[in-house]
Amino acid sequence: MMTGNQYRESLRQLRPEVYYLGQKIDSIVDHPAFAPHVNAAALTYDMALAPEFEELLAATSHLTGDRINRFTHIHHSHDDLVKKIKMLRAIGQQTGSCFQRCVGHDGLNAVYSVTYDIDHKMGTDYHTRLVNLLKEVQSRDLMVSGAMTDPKGDRRLPPSQQKDPDLYVHVVERKSDGIIVSGAKAHITGAVNSHGHLVMPTSAMREGDADYAICFYVPVDAPGVIHVFGRQTNDMRKCDCTIDQGNVEYGIVGGEALIVFDKVFVPWEHVFMCGEYEFAYDLVERFATAHRQNYGGCKTGLTDALIGACYALAQVQGTDRASHIRDKLVEMVHLAETLYCCSIACSCQGIALPAGSYMADPLLANITKLNVTRHIYEIARLAQDIAGGILATMPAEMDWKNPKIGSYVDKYMKAVADVPTETRIRLIRLIEAMTCGTALAESMHGAGSPQAQRIMIERRANLGHKKRLAEKLAKIGEQPLFVS
């Protein structure tokens, strides 16, 4: 297993094509816009080697028997699923931000099980190819992005009927040694600081969409792979200040990017689905289940840090003994632990798949993520309520440091007399970073929008069974008890 610094050095050996604000970036490790995201991912390497965290962040490979980072592990029990959630909460507490490796981890688990099913029915050798890739990922401790979401174009039309065929990733040409693909994947977490991309279909496919039913792996710096890094709330603060960033070491969210595939060659050994459209939905559902399972873990970890910031700020501002402040803190804890319960529940009720791997309960995983789209917003509202209006009007760090006006800012931004003004400023900026803009949007749309969860919930709700329960209790269709 690599250390965080070894991970950073491994990225320096790569040459991905990355653009940000119209400029090509030479080294993401050394650029202030990317450094926090690299740091957050690097912590997943260091924590796996730390005695107090290794039980959660390390695992034993079922393929080689070697000790590996859990982010490269395939779940084979309920215990694996539960440890995953506990791991995510623990890392979230330490970073206060997205640490990015979950998506590729979930993708590997989904593709592992679906390739087994395809081979069983179609006589292909996709699963063997995936196992070979997995061994490499585990032995080199690679960070893999999970690239699922396509731009989609006109949502009324399926992939094969789009005016521009590249609005979904698709096969352009099949060759004796591999395939040529074009298209793009959008909003991909950790894309620029991953070692490679695991590309998956984004939706169920029909026969006419067979060229779009593809799954493959490419190195991050493969020819024709282009990354356009997305803007984030207050992202320029990374380049001109430190305190005003709020979370200077680990950032706000996961460093999402648009990945363009411009006639990219993929060798057959890294192709895990190519035209088997009837299995696209299974892959989407299993990935979505795994990823939605996560949110009661990682978001709860982040919330633990946010609650701590709100409690500390209340003490700094002299409001910590007010009953309404304490009620708000308790409500934040209640909502966070409710999310955690959901993730633990869907893990404990996970199911074994034919490949021998385990998947969280799909219904409860979708319940988990749908709750996140509500509870995290309410937690953020309560945090902003506790912080007060100063959250939106705090003078800039540069004003506080200014030789002429800095003393005024320090004097009038002070609250409790014996606490430095800087302490208040740092706590307010952390709460701002965690509750405003990009961070909240990720809670809504990460792992799919609320409507995506509702669709999955309806499919898994078994309404017919519930109807029969009611009919039995109401004695509908049975012989009347009393006949006149």
Active site residues: 98, 102, 189, 256, 291, 295, 298, 442
- CA 98 vs CA 25, 56, 74, 302, 422: distances in Å: 22, 17, 21, 8, 26
Closest CA to 264 of 200, 349, 351, 173: 173
Closest CA to 454 of 371, 356, 338, 389: 371
The first and second tokens of residue 314, run together, are 């209340």
User: How many angstroms from the chain centroid is the CA of residue 263?
Assistant: 27
User: How many angstroms from the chain centroid is the CA of residue 341?
Assistant: 19
The number of CA neighbours under 13 Å toward the Cβ of 410 is 13
- CA 245 vs CA 24, 242, 249, 428: distances in Å: 23, 6, 9, 10
Report the SS3 class of residue 233.
Answer: coil
Q: Which amino acid is at 57?
A: L
Owner of token pair 């803009």: 437
Spatial neighbors of 211 by CB under 8 A, at least 6 apart, are: 160, 170, 171, 275
Spatial neighbors of 473 by CB under 8 A, at least 6 apart, are: none
Phi, psi of 186 (to 5 degrees): -115, 155
Helix (H) or strand (E) holding 187: strand 178-188
Spatial neighbors of 328 by CB under 8 A, at least 6 apart, are: 310, 382, 385, 386
Spatial neighbors of 252 by CB under 8 A, at least 6 apart, are: 36, 97, 232, 233, 234, 246, 433, 434, 437, 438, 439
Cβ proximity of 362 and 293 under 8 Å: no
Cβ proximity of 175 and 235 under 8 Å: no
- DSSP class of residue 214? E
Question: How many contiguous H segments (helices) and E segments (strands) does the chain have?
Answer: 17, 14
The first and second tokens of residue 435, run together, are 């509750």
Spatial neighbors of 341 by CB under 8 A, at least 6 apart, are: 296
